[in-house]
A and B are shown apart, each in its own frame.
Chain A
Amino acid sequence: MKRSEKFRQANREAKATILATIAVIAFWWVAGFGLADVNISYLHTPLWVWGGCLGTWIFAILVTLYLTKYVFVDFDLDDKEEGK
Chain B
Amino acid sequence: MSSIINLIPVLAFLVLMLLISVYVQKSSEDDRQKNFAKDYFIGGRTLGGFVLAMTTAATYSSVSTFVGGPGMAWIIGYGWLYMAIVQVVVIFLVLGVFGKKIALVARRIDAVTVIDVLRARYKSNFLANFAAVVIVGFFCATMVAQFVGAAKLFEAVTGYSYLTGLSLFGLIVVFYTTIGGFKGVAITDSFCAIAMIAGMCLLFGAMMETGGGFDNIMKHISTNHPDMLEPLSRGKMPISLYISQWLLVGICTLALPQSVVRGISFKNTQALHRAIVIGTVVIGAMTLVATVIGVLSKGILTGDLASYGGSVDNITPLTIVKSMGPFWAGVTIIGPIAATISTVSSLLLAASSSIIKDVYMNHLASQGKELANDSVRNLSLAATVILGLAVYAIAITPPSVIWIINMFAFGGLQTAFFWVLIFGLFWYKANKNGAIAAMVGGVLVYCATMAMKIKVLDLHQIVIGIGVSLIFFLVGNSFGKTVDDETLEIFFPERFDN
Contacts and interface: CB of A to CB of B under 8 A. Distances in A.
A20 B246 CA distance: 15
Contact of A64 (B86, B97, B276): B276
B304 interface: no
Interface string A25-53: 10010001100100001011110110011
Nearest to B279: A64
Interface stretch (B102-110, B120-128, B175-183, B328-336): B102-110
A41 B218 CA distance: 11
B460 to A, nearest CB: 17
Contacts of B493: 3-4, 7, 84
B281 interface: yes
Contact of B100 (A10, A24, A45, A54): A10
Kindly list the 3 A-B residue pairs having the minimum CB-CB distance in the complex, ordered from nearest: A17-B96, A44-B218, A57-B284
Contacts of B272: 72
A52 B96 contact: no
Given A7-B104, A61-B280, A74-B270, 16 more contacts: A10-B104, A11-B101, A16-B96, A41-B222, A44-B215, A44-B221, A44-B222, A49-B82, A56-B85, A57-B85, A57-B288, A60-B89, A61-B284, A74-B268, A76-B268, A77-B104
Contact of A52 (B85, B104, B489, B492): B85
B426 to A, nearest CB: 7
A10 B106 CA distance: 14
B273 interface: yes
B229 interface: yes
Contacts, number: 136
A26 B341 CA distance: 35
23 contacts: A4-B497, A11-B426, A14-B97, A17-B93, A21-B89, A24-B88, A43-B218, A45-B218, A46-B78, A49-B82, A52-B231, A53-B78, A57-B85, A57-B284, A57-B288, A60-B88, A60-B89, A72-B272, A72-B276, A74-B268, A74-B269, A79-B107, A84-B496
A63 B279 CA distance: 13
Interface in B264-285: 268-270, 272-274, 276-277, 280-281, 284-285
Contacts of A4: 493-494, 496-497
Contacts of A13: 96, 100
Nearest to A21: B89
Given A20-B92, A53-B81, A61-B280, A14 B426 contact: yes
B108 A68 contact: no
Contacts of B270: 74
Nearest to A48: B231
Nearest to B287: A57
B231 A33 contact: yes
Chain B residues touching A, majority SS:
helix
Contacts of B481: none
A49 B78 contact: yes
A67 B276 contact: yes
Contacts of B101: 7, 10-11, 14
A60 B280 contact: yes
From B281, B287, B288, B497, residue with most partner A Cβ within 10 Å: B497
B74 to A, nearest CB: 16
A81 interface: no
B92 A67 contact: yes
A13 B230 CA distance: 37
A54 B84 CA distance: 12
Nearest to A54: B288
A78 B82 CA distance: 41
Nearest to B272: A72
Nearest to A60: B88
Contacts of A56: 85, 88
Given A7-B101, A14-B97, A61-B280, A72 B273 contact: yes
B171 interface: no
Contact of A11 (B229, B274, B494): B494
Contacts of A36: 230-231
A54 B85 CA distance: 8
A49 B73 CA distance: 13
Contacts of A67: 92, 96, 276
B85 to A, nearest CB: 5
Contact of B229 (A7, A32, A45, A52): A45
A46 B251 CA distance: 27
